[in-house]
Amino acid sequence: MLLELLLVVFLLGVILAFFYKQAVAEFRILQTESLEKALPVLHERCPVIVTPVPMPQDLWTQKDIQQRPTLAGKGVNGVTLRDAMKNETFTLKPSTAEFLATEIGLPVWVQKAVLPLWKESLWWTRILSPRTEVTIGAQGLRPTFAYTTFLLCTEGALQVSLLNESSDAYLPKQWLGKRLSKLTRDEAPLLGNIQYIDVIVRPGTALLLPPHWKVCWENTETPMPALAVWIEFHHPMSRLMRNSFYRGS
């Protein structure tokens, strides 16, 4: 009985890994007007723009942090969070970004506002678990691993650049954290061969990203940096792949 159970688990793992590794090499963006309508098309492995979308009210904005002096005074990367939020480009460590997301109550909002929609739309999404981060300003390249990743801008606006695996060969070897707008020929000799698409994301719009893409973004409004939240919905295989990547980077 135990061997049969282990065999079933192994086969399920193989099947999940097979479907997880599927990716598209074309640039195509889908658009819907609700999260419920977006979920059934996620299997196409293309980015999806959803507008309008439920937004976390009064979370991760300049006003939100100003009203929370203890949180605003927390040290991040050698400065206070209050000062960090004035920086047009401020890269938080994943662990710090996840900690701050928890401090502002983002996981609670996800549990209340987003997960119920998943569980009602697709039965198997009950195995998905969320992971949340916050971001400040422009951000360098990062990969997607989750079954889907939500990028929501909570203040300002973002110009988001999306790359699929067709451009991997042209990126610098150390591409993690690099901004496309700042890349040079010294870093990427075949810079002109890197293909990507740009999407503008503002409050009220969500960008849903499939796995196996790379993403970075720039501020489109000044002088204050744009603020955003990054929400990953993982199944066991995708979480394992993400953790393995960041342990080795």
pLDDT in single tens digits along all 249 residues of the chain: 554 444 434 444 444 444 445 445 567 889 998 888 887 788 888 999 999 988 888 899 999 999 999 999 999 988 999 999 998 889 999 999 999 999 999 999 999 888 887 766 666 667 888 999 999 999 999 999 999 999 999 999 999 999 999 999 999 999 999 999 999 999 999 999 999 999 999 999 999 999 999 999 999 876 789 999 999 999 899 999 999 999 866
Q: Which among 242, 76, 232, 221 has a CA at the least distance from the CA of 152?
A: 232
Sketch the domain layout of the chain as residue ranges.
Answer: 45-65+85-248
Q: Which residue has the tokens 């479907």?
A: 19
Token output for 77: 């990367």
The number of residues in the chain equals 249
Where is 14: in which H helix or E strand?
Answer: helix 2-20
Give 218's strand partners: 159
pTM attached to this predicted model: 0.87
CATH number for the segment(s) 45-65+85-248: 2.60.120
Q: Are 155 and 60 in contact (CB under 8 A)?
A: yes
